[in-house]
Structure 1
Amino acid sequence: MTSQTTLAKPGQDPGEPDRPDSSGGLQAGLKNRHLSMIAIGGVIGAGLFVGSSAGIAAAGPAILISYAMVGLMVVLVMRMLGEMAAARPSSGSFSAYADQALGRWAGFSIGWLYWFFWVVVLAVEATAGAAILENWIPGVPQWAWALIVMVVLTATNLVSVGSYGEFEFWFAGIKVVAIAAFVVVGFLAVFGFLPGSDNPGSGLAHLTDNGGFFPEGPGAILTGVLMVVFSFMGSEIVTLAAGESSDPQRAVSKATNSVIWRIAVFYLGSIFVVLTLLPWNDPSIQEKGSYVAALDSIGIPQAGNVMDFIVLTAVLSCLNSGLYTASRMAFSLGERGDAPKSFAKVNRRGVPQAAILASVVFGFVAVFFNYQWPDTVFQFLLNSSGAVALFVWLVICFTQLRMRGIILRETPGKLVVRMWLFPYLTWATIAAISFILVYMLTDDTAREQVVLSLLVAALVVGISLVREMRNRKAVSQ
């Protein structure tokens, strides 16, 4: 970090730290179509395709309420983040804002926790993608496929931010087209308008004809919330990517305003289709997965292979974005002096090479742990990062409470996106996230996740406070 005064760059507020690097910082290499698809695809994770069947089994048709509750929470969090990101675009997004509003300890802590979350996700998604590829081409061992996938996407991110954006445009595009087609075709089959469908098209009857809408009781809604909440992680990526676009304010505003329909169509719409095509307790939902079972009920040939292809693109998209997101957070931490200075340097193409390589090295190590010690070391990594999504959302809420006043004092003209009913909805969201964290402690399957995540968070916060004390002591001397 340098104390030298520099002129603010385009899209950078006066007083905001400059981007210390050899070639003028991150380049605006993302086009509007890239950001639009990153925003749309960011809310469609692989967890939606492979994890929804467990939620349906736990809550029945009432899982729709679980998805709606979490979706509403994400919409509110994204609105808060959009307010800050539109006013102050930054590659560090909520970590940089927490640094300004809550203190260096907050920006340091949530930045490193978020980085940790995504590098663990790299290992999970690489292994999931490798399993699908090995099923298609069994001659290549699964570990080799995981290595190939990681190397290819690392190379993509190293070339330029534009190449990341292009890959993500097509990966996310396939996800979006596939799930939109699923919703349209499913609705036609549900109401008996799809020619040649094998599904009887019983309308909305399946929502209540097997034990009612709450077959496992109203309390199962909260169990469902715990199962689906983490599949929404990733919607915030567009606010990090916006910093590398030519018009970040417009990109963030557009993404924030469209998050409602994206969640409504892709999550609620697709799960609604599954629950109306089949009874919630149909064995095929658990045996084949909810989407494959739904496609089979319509009579779509090779439904399993079709869904495997879609899941693979979702996995590759998540991998691609995970590596991008982890590296940009590492870059931002390096800029602020909270990570090695080399992380804040970019090459002549405007790519933070050291930050990317550091992130992928940890990802490779985590992949190794996944194959070598899946039930011990890797399970610890998974559980200790499991509740980070909720911590991130909670920090965004507290940060926005403070940042609103800072923005109004310093750059009121940039407050183009505003949180609704401020500060009441912000406090309501804080209460909802806190309730989920407390409820996780009472759930046998979620307790270990939240306890280990809290321990890791406490460790990182402790390190940040010690660093701050040392820095103050050094300054006073």
Structure 2
Amino acid sequence: MSVSPFTLIFEKAGILGAASVMNAVILTAILSAGNSGLYASSRMLYSMAVSGKAPKIFAKVNSRGVPMPALLATTAIGGFAFLTSLIGDGTAYVWLITVSGLAGFIVWAGIAWSHYRFRRAFKLQGHDVSELPFRSKLYPLGPIVALVMVLVVIAGQNLEVWQGRADWLTVFSTYVGLLAFLALWVGHKLITKSPGVKLTDADLSRTID
């Protein structure tokens, strides 16, 4: 971090070891992000196990309520992802970063779509919006705009495609996360034979309570 603008500012201010200070700040931020990531991912895996969407072993907790099997599994996967940066020329690591980055956009698209459908289902089932403790003033435009923007960002991950000079290996590596998501979603539908949920049949009781 010797050429960071923050480092240069600290050096101009006469602070010795500015690069080391910035490295310490960045390391602290990385550890914080890793800690929150492990917490969230282990609890998601635990929740999936409790609801029957993951192996039951991940639903076990220790005496302090920590889902250790889920935590160990997510830690192992995170460790493997880190090791890929040390293997070869780092191509595998770049692919993993690309997949995880696109997954974030997919999640936000799901949030926007869920919000849009939730409010519609809420009204169709005879409820009034005033019953909700928190209400979006921009509904329905807000979630629609958010969904469109996310889809535009996903489509624009490889501008070269639209400019007629695409590197198809790069395109595949960019959208492999989307392909994996679609494969898992279609596979889940085929295996469980679960139909789509109509707005009038959506279970909103836990949300309302």
Give CA-to-partner distance per residue, 1:422-443, whole Å, 9 cap, x none: 0111111111111111221315
Match of 2:184 among 460, 465, 469: 460
CA distance in 2, matches of 1:441, 1:296: 38
CA distance in 2, matches of 1:336, 1:411: 30
Superposed, 1:274-285 pairs within 5 Å as none
CA distance in 1, matches of 2:7, 2:100: 29
Query: Is residue 301 of structure 1 aligned with residue 25 of structure 2?
Result: no
Match of 2:45 among 320, 330, 334: 330
Q: Which has the higher contact order (CA 8 A, sep 6+)?
A: 1
CA distance in 1, matches of 2:65, 2:40: 15
Look up the equivalent residue of 1:320 and give its one-letter code. Answer: N
What SS does structure 2 have at the residue aligned with 1:429? Answer: helix
Per-residue deviation at 1:372?
Answer: 2.7
Provide the TM-score with structure 2 as the length reference: 0.76
Contact 1:386 1:449 in 2 (8 A): no
Q: Partner residue of 1:344?
A: 59
What SS does structure 2 have at the residue aligned with 1:419? Answer: coil
CA distance in 2, matches of 1:292, 1:402: 48
Q: Partner residue of 2:157?
A: 440
CA distance in 1, matches of 2:146, 2:90: 35
Give CA-to-partner distance per residue, 1:148-190, whole Å, 9 cap, x none: xxxxxxxxxxxxxxxxxxxxxxxxxxxxxxxxxxxxxxxxxxx
Q: Partner residue of 1:313?
A: 28
CA distance in 1, matches of 2:134, 2:15: 43
Per-residue deviation at 1:400?
Answer: 0.6
CA distance in 1, matches of 2:11, 2:133: 47
Query: Is residue 389 of structure 1 aligned with residue 104 of structure 2?
Result: yes
CA distance in 2, matches of 1:359, 1:415: 35
CA distance in 2, matches of 1:433, 1:426: 10
Per-residue deviation at 1:447?
Answer: 4.2
CA distance in 2, matches of 1:332, 1:379: 29
Q: Partner residue of 1:419?
A: 136
CA distance in 1, matches of 2:96, 2:137: 37
Identity of aligned residues (%): 28
Could you say what the CA RMSD is over the residues aligned between the two structures, in angstroms? 2.8
CA distance in 2, matches of 1:294, 1:463: 53
Superposed, 1:7-18 pairs within 5 Å as none
The 1:307/1:392 distance shift into structure 2, 3 A limit, reads same
Provide the TM-score with structure 1 as the length reference: 0.35
Q: Partner residue of 1:361?
A: 76
Q: Partner residue of 2:118?
A: 403
